[in-house]
Chain A
C-alpha cells in the first residue's frame, strides 16, 4: 500500500501516459464555472450601478443574463455527468414536498420567464410529498423550464400528481411541440450532433438522473409527447 513507487509525483502523468480527456475536461469545466460565476456577479453589479435606460438595453441585459445562465446550467450538467461516470456522484434520496422543488425552479428562472412574458401555472397539491434527490431533480426541472421558456409562446404549465405509485412531474408548453425524431423513443442513443446545435446533453442528463432513482416499484423514466394540455409539447418525469 505504501511503497514509494506508488507516491505520485504530479508531473509524471504527462510523459508517455495518454491524456485522460474526461479528467482534463472536468477540470477545465470547473475553471470555466468559476469564471462564469465572476461574469454573472459582475453583470448583476453592472446592472445595479447602471440600470438599463430603455427597453432595448433591458433586452440586451436579459439576453446576456439568459445565455450566461444557460452556459452555467450546461456546465453543471457536464460536471454531474462526469461524476456519475466516475461514480463520485452522491445521490441522497429523502422525503420532499413536490411543490417546493417546483416553486424553487420557477423562482430561479423568474427573470427569464418575465423577460419573455411567459405565464407559468402550477398545478400541484401542496401536501404532495415524494422521495427523490432534490438537487438532481431540481437540476433536471430547471433545464426543462429553461428549455420550454425558449420554445413556448406565452404559457407554461408545471404539474405534479401521483400516478400508479409514481410521482409524475410534467412540464407542458404552448409551442409547436417536440420534433418527430425526439418522439421516437431511444433518446440520446443517436450520435451527438454538434452541427445542429443541439447536443442533447440535457436529455442525457435527465435520463441518467432518473435512472438513479430506484425503488422496489422500479426506476425513474420519462415520456415525451405532443398535443399536451396547452397544445404544445409535454415532457413527463416519473419517479418511483
Chain B
C-alpha cells in the first residue's frame, strides 16, 4: 500500500475496557500510526477532543455509564471543536449498522465490528485514509467556506475517474443544494438515478424538490423511498419537513410518531414530537414524548432546558384534563424541575421557574404543604421585579396562584401585568395564554379566523374539520372559553353521527378543563351547561343501547 503518512497521524482510542484500549493501541502502533491517546469514557474523550485535533477516532459505541459512542459523535459533529471533521470509526459488538442507523441521525465514517483483528483494522483504515487523502483538497475548500472551489475539485475527481467518484457525487449534490443551485443538484441526482435507484440520490431528489417548493414531487419521491425501505429515517425527517412547509401539524405529528416508534432513541425526534403534539393539544402523546426526550437528554448535547420545562408544563396541563393519565408522570416531572438549575446553570429566573413548576406539580401530587412552600420561596426569590425578562416566569406565577387556589392574587398580578404591558403587542401575545379573551391584535385576529373557518366547516356538517380548526387554538389560548365550547360542540355533533369512545374521552377532558376555569357569571355559562347536558344524555343513550 502506498505511503499514507501514518507516522504523522495522531489517533484517539475510546473504550471503557482497559484491555481493549491496550490491544487497539498496540495494533495502531504496529501499523505505524505516529501517536495514540486513550480515553476510558465519552466524557473524557470529549475533553481530549476539545484540547487538540485527532486524525482518527476509534470509539466503542457501548461505553457503559455516561455518553455512548454515538453521543460522542453527535457532539463532535454538531459543535465547534478541533475534531469536528476527524475520521470517526464507531466500534460495536453489534455488527449491524442497521440497528445503529435506525436509531440515530449522525453517521460515522465507518463501522467496525468487534472482534477487531489487526489485518481488518489495517485494511479498513487504509481504505478510509486513502479516500481522505484523495478528497483532502475538497474537504479543505469546504472547511474554508470556498464551496465553488470544492465543487470544481469534485467535478475534476469525477471526470478523472477517481476511485471515490461515488463519494464525490454525494458531496456535489450537497454542495449544489447548499448553494441553492437546484438545477445542478437535480442533474447530479438524476444522472445517478438513471443508472440505479440509490437511496441517497432519491433523498437528494426530495431535498431538491422541497427547495424548489415542488411539494407534490417531493411527496412522490418520499413514497418511493419508504416503500422500498420503511426504515429509512432520513425519509421520515424529510417527510416531517414537508408537513412543516404545508403547515400540516396533524401530519407532522403522525410522521414523528412513526419515526419515534421505529427508532425511539433519537432525542431530536422525541423533542419535535413533544412540541407538535403539545401544539395539537394531544397532551398524552406530548407528555410521554417529552418524558423520553428528558431521559435521552441525560448524556446528549441536544438537551435543552425548554424541553424540561415543557415536560413539566404539559404534565400539569394533562392533570387539568385527566388526573389518571397525568399521575404516572408527576414524580418524574418533579425530579426534572428540581434538577433544572443543576443541569442548565444557576440563574435567579431559572430558580423561580423551577420552584413554580414544582409548586404546581405538588398540587397535582396532592401535597398542598410542599406546593405552598415552593410558591413562597419562588415569590421571595422573584420579588417585585419590573424586568421584562421576568415575564414568562410571572406568567407561570399566575398559573401557579390559580392552581393553588389564590385566585384573587392571580387576578391582581395579571391586572398589573396587563397594565404594565398595555399597547405592547409582543408581551400581550404572551399574556393571552392566561386570558379568556385575547388582548393582542395577532391573537384576536387568530380567534376570528379560526372561528370563521371552524364555523364554515360546522355549517357544512364537516364536524371533524371543524373540531380540528378549533383545536388548533386550545394550546395557544387555553383559557378561551368560547373556542373551547365551539370545539366541544363540533365534537358532540361528531359523536352524534357515530359514537367513538376516543371522541367521547376528548369531550370529557375538555369539560373537565372548562369546569375549572369557567365561573357562573361567565356569559357562556348557560351554553356550557346545555352542551354538558346534551353530552351526558348522548353517553347515557349509548350505554343503554350497548346493554340492550
Contacts and interface: CB of A to CB of B under 8 A. Distances in A.
Nearest to B324: A4
Contacts of B502: 1-3
Given A93-B198, A110-B117, A76 B95 contact: yes
A58 interface: no
A90 B101 contact: yes
B94 interface: yes
Mostly helix, strand, loop or mixed at chain B's interface?
Answer: helix
B93 interface: yes
A72 B111 CA distance: 17
A3 B26 CA distance: 56
A44 B115 contact: yes
B119 A110 contact: yes
Contacts, number: 105
A104 B120 CA distance: 6
B531 interface: no
Contact of A107 (B23, B26, B95, B119): B119
Nearest to A72: B115
Contacts of B119: 107-108, 110-111
Contact of B114 (A3, A41, A91, A92): A41
Interface string A34-52: 1001001110110010000
A80 B124 CA distance: 23
Interface in A82-96: 83, 87-95
A80 B96 contact: yes
B285 A1 contact: yes
A69 interface: yes
A107 B117 contact: yes
A200 interface: no
B231 to A, nearest CB: 4
Q: How large is the interface on B (under 10, 10 to 19, 20 to 34, 35 or more residues)?
A: 35 or more
Given A83-B98, A95-B198, A110 B120 contact: yes
Interface string B1-44: 00000000000000001011011001000000000000000000
B117 A41 contact: no
B462 interface: no
Contacts of B166: 94-95, 129
Contacts of A44: 19, 23, 115
Nearest to A48: B23
Interface string B267-295: 00000000000000010110000000000
Contact of A108 (B120, B229, B324, B505): B120
B122 interface: yes
A33 interface: yes
Given A1-B502, A41-B17, A91 B26 contact: no
B324 A42 contact: no
Interface residues of A, number: 42
A91 B262 CA distance: 15
B199 interface: yes
Interface string A1-17: 11110000000000000
Interface string B500-517: 011001000000000000
Contacts of A69: 115
B230 interface: yes
B510 to A, nearest CB: 15
Contacts of B19: 41-42, 44-45, 48
A95 B170 CA distance: 11
B253 to A, nearest CB: 10
A103 interface: yes
B143 interface: no
11 contacts: A33-B93, A48-B26, A88-B231, A90-B229, A90-B231, A93-B198, A100-B127, A107-B124, A129-B166, A135-B96, A215-B197
Interface of A: 1-4, 33-34, 37, 40-42, 44-45, 48, 69, 72, 76, 79-80, 83, 87-95, 97, 100, 103-104, 107-108, 110-111, 127, 129, 131, 135, 139, 215
Given A41-B17, A45-B23, A107-B120, 16 more contacts: A41-B23, A48-B23, A79-B96, A87-B230, A92-B101, A92-B229, A93-B196, A93-B199, A95-B198, A103-B123, A110-B117, A111-B119, A129-B166, A135-B96, A135-B97, A135-B111
